[in-house]
Amino acid sequence: MLSVEAVSKTFGGVQALRQASLSCASGEILGLIGPNGAGKSTLVNAISGVLKPDAGSIRLADQELTGRGPEHCARAGIARTFQNIRLFKELTVRQNVEVAHITCRDVRPDAAGRIDIDALLEQYELGSAADAPAGTLSYGNQRRLEIARALALGPSLLLLDEPAAGLNESESETLAEAIEAIRRDFGCAIIVIDHDLRFINRLCDRLCVMDQGQVIASGDTVEVWRDPRVIEVYVGQSQPS
């Protein structure tokens, strides 16, 4: 489904990505982890068209996406959330979701037809706030709205950048269940970036570990934690249980 091959990106003198490669299949939940500055957000930005890679290729199913912009990638079926929430804060909760749904209806009417906006708002406990401006929601509700809006795009690939940031343990558990429900209900591929390793290990089928712009390990979650390079990168950090 998603195939990223040898993607590189330099910002001034900083090589943020060095020939990074990963793949993600339909219905798979892939965890993208690594220390601060490893290149995770840059890679997700390249996949979602927010920035153009200097080299390498990005394909989604049979679509060549390398160097295409965010709108093109959204229309191709890639939806994402951001590390720092980016909603249309003056629009209502419902309007935020409707804008995404209209985009989906234009390009993938079949997928759009399967999306029920009211059900989506209820599922993310936003029904009672549907007519409130998005900017007035609590932090947790804004995070939920970002996911609901991403789903209204009818994605075949969903990218979640630090969805558990700022959540307590029980909220993270609820979020993990919600992401599993997305896989079940939408069947899309999901890539999750997060520093909460307990959350990542509980949720993800496979992991891709980055360090200094490179993918240093990828594979089954349990296997990856046995890799000496991964252990080295995480030395000093608490090992996940």
Ligand X SMILES: Nc1ncnc2c1ncn2[C@@H]1O[C@H](COP(=O)(O)OP(=O)(O)OP(=O)(O)O)[C@@H](O)[C@H]1O
Strand, coil or helix: 13 = coil
Q: How far is the CB of 232 from ligand X (least distance, A)?
A: 17
Q: How far is the CB of 148 from ligand X (least distance, A)?
A: 23
Binding-site member from 2, 20, 42, 217 for ligand X (CB under 6 A): 42
Strand, coil or helix: 86 = coil
Q: Is 16 in the site for ligand X (CB under 6 A)?
A: yes
Residue bearing tokens 């939940």: 29
**Residue ranges in 159-188 that form contacts with ligand X under rule CB under 6 A:** none
Q: Is 40 in the site for ligand X (CB under 6 A)?
A: yes
Tokens of 51: 């920035």
* Nearer to ligand X (CB atom), residue 41 or residue 103: 41
Binding-site member from 39, 49, 53, 56 for ligand X (CB under 6 A): 39
Q: How far, in Å, CA of 197 to CA of 223, rounded? A: 15
Helix, strand, coil percentages, rounded to 5, for the chain: 40, 25, 35
Contacting range for ligand X; rule: CB under 6 A; set: 35-43, 54-62, 92-100, 105-113: 35-43
Radius of gyration of the chain (CA): 17
Contacting range for ligand X; rule: CB under 6 A; set: 30-38, 102-110, 115-123, 150-158: 30-38
Phi, psi of 212 (to 5 degrees): 50, 45
Which residues of this protein are in contact with ligand X, per CB under 6 A? 11, 14, 16, 34, 36-42
